[in-house]
Amino acid sequence: MAGSNFVDYVKIFCRSGNGGAGSAHLRREKSEEKGGPDGGDGGRGGHVILKGNRNYWTLIHLKHRRHVFADHGGNGGKQGSFGADGGDKIIEVPLGTLAKDAETGEFLFEITEHGQEKIITKGGRGGLGNTHFKTSTHQTPRFAQPGEEGIEMAAVLELKVLADVGLVGFPNAGKSTLLSVLSAAKPEIADYPFTTLIPNLGIVSYRDKYSFAMADIPGIIEGASEGKGLGLRFLRHIERNSILLFMVPSDADDIEKEYQILLNELKKFNPELLDKGRLLAITKTDLLDDELIAEMKVTLPDIPHVFISSIAQIGLIELKDMIWKELMNANKE
């Protein structure tokens, strides 16, 4: 299936280039057999660089690229000539990619903007030529610096999907159906839990001239924050969303309880997620009458909510208005 092309975790071995050696050359000319030092500096070793590219949405292109080696710097030469810098190796990644040290787990940086570049392993400095070591008491130094060695590191790259709205709900809550109706995204949809095994991203048009990005995050189960089910693998994608749209089907035994379970899983994973704007959509409501809806409203959590049916196209305009208003409020903060 198309979803198998989504990769959000890779481990690669990076090695920057060694710096070139400085030259210890002494000037030799017809008119001057024993000239002074004229050795040039060595070139810098190449960096390994991550670069943001908005046209990528997965790390699949790095799945089989286990090693990334930058080029070594050139050695310095006579007549003060500098060695060439080693060629950098640039790895293009989707926006929302985090880099970590694979050995220690230390967070290094995050790529969030198109064209943004961050050095993951820095190239070694070139060695100084012997001209730098000439003094009044040592006119002809016959030595130069070697180049600095490059850096080797195993790095982990993790992708967090960047979206304005993250859909949060238990499996089979109607998230994929909503995304397919509101956008051109084509997630796999069926009547059984865990149809969505990857995050799906769609662009939703709003009032002809505006749009926002919506991510269908795979369904959460109780205990996801402890790693149950697909748990931790997908909860991290929610961290990059501006606001969260909780989705609970109208046939749930207790809508308030289901919402609180979802909220608790997010809190245990990362308490800061509770600072995001929260909305609630009661899904699959095409068979509810006005009287039943009125009764259900009394029991709902105290956040902006709307009753929708993706299949019957009920409440979707109201939902988009509610989302846009919350996005505008989030951008003011």
CA 142 centroid distance within chain: 50
**Averaged pLDDT for residues 228-252:** 73
Kindly indicate the confidence band of residue 8, based on its pLDDT and cuts at 50, 70 and 90.
confident
Q: From 211, 266, 258, 263, select the one nearest 238 (Cα to Cα).
A: 266
Q: Report pLDDT digits (tens) over 42-81.
A: 999 999 999 999 888 788 889 888 899 999 999 999 999 9
H-only helix segments in the chain? 175-182, 231-238, 255-269, 290-297, 316-332
By percentage, how much of the chain surpasses pLDDT 90?
Answer: 50
Identify the three-state secondary structure at position 109: strand
The SS3 call for residue 52 is: strand
For the chain, helix (H) and strand (E) counts, in that order, are 5, 14
Contact 142, 83 (CB under 8 A): no
Helix (H, G, I), strand (E, B) or coil at 237: helix
Supply the pTM of this predicted model: 0.66
Confidence of residue 224 (pLDDT cuts 50, 70, 90): very low
pLDDT digits (tens, 9 = 90+) for 243-296: 999 999 998 889 999 999 888 888 887 888 888 899 999 999 988 888 999 999
Q: What structural domains and CATH numbers belong to the chain?
A: 1-159 (2.70.210.12), 163-332 (3.40.50.300)
